[in-house]
Structure 1
Amino acid sequence: MSESTTQANGITLCHEEFGAATAPPLVLIMGLAAPMTWWDDDFCEQLAARGFRVVRFDNRDAGRSQRMSGRADVVRAYLLRAAPYSVADMADDTAGLLDALGIERAHVVGASMGGMIAQTLAIRHPRRVRSLTSIMSTTGSRLIGHPSPRAAASMLAPQPRSRAEYVELLVKTFRLIGSPGYPFDEQRMRARAERTFDRGVNPGGAARQLAAILSTRDRTAALRRLTLPSLVVHGARDPLVHVSGGRATARALRADLDVVPGMGHDLPQEIWPRVLDGIERVAARA
């Protein structure tokens, strides 16, 4: 297990693998401003122990992957659907990574923005996706999946520059958007924040990713045309992407739907067995 960089879709992506190279590939796609390490090492190792070749990677503009250019205007992105790049571009990054790793088809799991990327990958490159698991995400429709006012405001907060400020902001944010039905592990969150900052944070990249989300179009009709095994996992108490987004995604995909009581916009360790079982179950159907 060691990080590598490779060219994919014309940019440089940082990635890492767990498990046997000969096992069925499973790609993990993370969310807004989040590096691949937000898929915890233990989570990845448990997936590998279930018989997968697990690939996680930093999206463009996150972690150690390539930093992009262009000024993001979130108002312009929402009103005019104009952004430096799109969720579709990020889906094509994922397809390019599969090419670079010699993977023809993979099980794909995405969380939050990563769920949007995973859905778009299946739409644009349906032959590359064996099964799809979309976690705490939505269809792109502006009628559902709305954040609470406080959660929305937290996404627009100025990005801190110092390590200490970044750690405090991440702890504050996840106290707000995390899972109220489970104990908040502040020590674990502080360790995650420190590791994230040390790998490299990119405030401009976070704004460009947010603009990509805000400029996206409704995927519902395209999702209805997919025929792959799929699972939607969503927190019943998610304040950032309301559970209506998950329900709509499941309807469009005709997917299994697992609404988890007490879960917010994160993955507490207590629910890992439930999520891992679901991923394994939908992959087996492929």
Structure 2
Amino acid sequence: MAERVIQADGIELCTESFGDPSDPPVLLIMGTGASMLWWEEGFCRMLAEGGRFVIRYDHRDTGRSVTYGPGRAEYTGADLVGDAARVLDAHEVPAAHVVGVSAGGALAQLLALHYVRRVLSLVLISTSSAVPGDRTLPPPSEEFTQFVATAHVNRSDADSAIDHQVAYVRVLAGGRRPFDETAARGLVRRDVERAHDFAAARNHDSLPDGELPQASLASIAVPTLVIHGTADPLFPLRHGEALAEQIPGGRLLVLEDAGHGVERADWAVIVPAILEHTA
């Protein structure tokens, strides 16, 4: 295990790998504004101990990857899709099993649609369709919407940024299980202290889509596992159900009372499911 900054097409991306490079590769793609730390080390090690070569990485404007500064992003959502392929290139991986959470799940779908030969299978966690589709899907919960609309944060102040992010993580957890604030605060603090500029991560909220050809989820031909919590406040369960229905052969694993993301309480279920799916 070692962090490695790769150079690709004039940009720097920070990556980290776990396990034996001769094992089946698993690429982990995190969500909006989130560095690779949110794929926690213990989770990555569990996958590696199951016989997988695991790669995680910092998106642009997160962690130790290239950072443009708040409001100065020089890239698109399509570039973030391409970054996943760049990471595979740097690790000399022709194709990988791809696991994405939240917006990382959308990036994983687009990778499978537009870099077809690079994806062996998909695991899509706490996410929704990456292409225009069902307009009847339920909106985020009232609590989530209210938090986004009313929360205030000074991103130039580390303590304010940490308090806000911990509160956001609490809302994302869904409220049906005990919330481990100590663990969440520790992870958020490491993320803030490690980043070149933590405030720049918010650039992801306003990125243009960029140019990718129109495609349908029905054209995804790789085995796909959708994992979704019943208490997800951002994408209610119906989003996961619809995703599994739209992708041919898609399977759905429902996590009772789980919120949005990869919670430690669910590792014992999620890791074996990924290992089975990628066998």
TM-score (norm 2): 0.89
Q: Deviations over 1:52-111 (max 9, x none)?
A: 110000011111111136848xxxxxxxxxx96433221111101111211101010000
Q: What is the letter of the counterpart of residue 36 of structure 1?
A: M
CA RMSD of aligned residues (A): 2.4
Contact 2:125–2:261 (Cα < 8 Å) also in 1: no
- Listed as ranges, the matches of 1:204-219 within 5 Å are 204-206=200-202, 208-212=203-207, 215=209
Q: 1:35 to 1:203 in 2, by over 3 A?
A: same
**Could you say which residue in structure 1 is the equivalent of 2:140?**
147
Question: Which stretch of the first structure deviates more once superposed, 195-204 or 272-281?
Answer: 195-204
Q: Deviations over 1:21-50 (max 9, x none)?
A: 211111101111111011111000000000
Question: Which stretch of the first structure deviates more once superposed, 264-273 or 230-239?
Answer: 264-273
Contact 1:138–1:145 (Cα < 8 Å) also in 2: no
**Could you say which residue in structure 2 is the equivalent of 1:80?**
none
CA distance in 2, matches of 1:125, 1:220: 13
Counterpart pick for 1:103 among 84, 90, 93:
93
CA distance in 1, matches of 2:138, 2:35: 23
CA distance in 1, matches of 2:160, 2:97: 37
**Could you say which residue in structure 2 is the equivalent of 1:271?**
266
Counterpart pick for 1:241 among 215, 232, 235:
235
Q: Deviations over 1:124-151 (max 9, x none)?
A: 1111001100100111447235322442
**Could you say which residue in structure 2 is the equivalent of 1:160?**
155
1:121 aligns with 2:111: yes
Q: 1:28 to 1:162 in 2, by over 3 A?
A: same
CA distance in 2, matches of 1:87, 1:280: 29
Question: Which stretch of the first structure deviates more once superposed, 29-38 or 265-274?
Answer: 265-274
CA distance in 2, matches of 1:22, 1:47: 14
- Could you list the runs of 5+ residues in structure 1 that have no partner in the other structure? 73-82
Q: 1:216 to 1:272 in 2, by over 3 A?
A: farther
> Secondary structure of 2:67's partner?
coil
Question: Which stretch of the first structure deviates more once superposed, 265-274 or 10-19?
Answer: 265-274
Aligned residues: 272
CA distance in 2, matches of 1:48, 1:145: 36
Contact 1:87–1:116 (Cα < 8 Å) also in 2: no
Q: 1:24 to 1:36 in 2, by over 3 A?
A: same
1:262 aligns with 2:262: no
**Could you say which residue in structure 1 is the equivalent of 2:120?**
130
Contact 1:87–1:216 (Cα < 8 Å) also in 2: yes
Contact 2:18–2:53 (Cα < 8 Å) also in 1: yes
CA distance in 1, matches of 2:236, 2:212: 16
Q: Deviations over 1:158-202 (max 9, x none)?
A: 452222212211221122121433221111001101101111143
Contact 1:146–1:242 (Cα < 8 Å) also in 2: yes
- Could you list the runs of 5+ residues in structure 2 that have no partner in the other structure? none
**Could you say which residue in structure 1 is the equivalent of 2:33?**
33
User: Percent identical across equivalent pairs?
Assistant: 34
1:181 aligns with 2:181: no
Q: 1:263 to 1:109 in 2, by over 3 A?
A: same
